[in-house]
Amino acid sequence: MAAATPSGSGLRADARRNSEQIRAAAIGAFRGQGLTVPMEEVAKAAGVSKATIFNRFGGRIGLIEAVIEEVVARELFTVIDRARTIEDAGERVTSYLTALRDLQYRQPAVNDVLLQIYPHAPQLMEICRAGSEANEEFVAAARAAGALRPEFTAGDLQALVVDNALVLKHGERPPRDDYDRRTRYLLDGIRGRSAASGER
């Protein structure tokens, strides 16, 4: 007769498997629908009950904290880091804002982060803090170089990003061509005289 598997190790393996399934399901759901997706949908995709998600992660905030690196942080920080490699301050802010708006269009969870929809999620708020610092850094350098209108501030950039997040989350999603055209209009509107004259 075969020896019985110790119940403790079996449960641990089961719990580990459930956690991995929940994480994978959450990453897919959050990327596709944003951080507000119903927990029932995550549970169904993971093949577990909603109660299991709460038992393993303590609810939505705990689940967001467990996967936010893969869902939002990695891509967003890549956008910031790539912008920092661009020497010209005007090109840097243009690249940053273009890439950020692209990410907002493609990745609904980014807009939930930018809207600070779950302020009790520490990692989410840390991403917002890092994004705000990047805004200030890029705008200050571009203004000093005359690449942005002198009255344009980091607060203005933050407001434009948040307004865009609100439209994409709650409004009618525009076709991609229209969205990209409006990104170009936005960039044209905030450029300083030296940047505008350099394009002629």
Residues 6+ apart with CB under 8 A from 40: 50
Total-model pTM: 0.87
Query: pLDDT grade, residue 195 (50/70/90)?
Result: low
Please answer whether residues 93 and 138 qualify as being in contact, where contact means their C-beta atoms are separated by less than 8 angstroms. yes
CA distances from residue 102 to 4, 144, 180, 186, 200 in whole angstroms, order as listed: 55, 26, 8, 13, 26
CA dihedral angle for residue 39, residue 59, residue 71, residue 114, rounded to 10 degrees: 100
pLDDT tens digit string along 28-45? 999 999 999 999 999 999
- Give the integer Cα–Cα distance in Å for 152 and 171: 26
Alpha-carbon 134 to chain mean position: 14
pLDDT for the residue 99: 98
Query: pLDDT grade, residue 194 (50/70/90)?
Result: low
pLDDT tens digit string along 131-182? 999 999 999 999 999 999 999 999 999 999 999 999 999 999 999 999 999 9
pLDDT tens digit string along 67-123? 999 999 999 999 999 999 999 999 999 999 999 999 999 999 999 999 999 999 999
Please answer whether residues 42 and 109 qualify as being in contact, where contact means their C-beta atoms are separated by less than 8 angstroms. no
Query: pLDDT grade, residue 12 (50/70/90)?
Result: confident
- The rounded mean pLDDT for the chain is 91
Please answer whether residues 169 and 64 qualify as being in contact, where contact means their C-beta atoms are separated by less than 8 angstroms. no
Q: Is the pLDDT of residue 23 over 90?
A: yes
User: What tokens does 111 get?
Assistant: 């807009």
Q: Which position has the token pair 């719990």?
A: 15
- Give the integer Cα–Cα distance in Å for 75 and 121: 18
Q: How many CA atoms lie within 13 A of 68 on its CB side?
A: 24
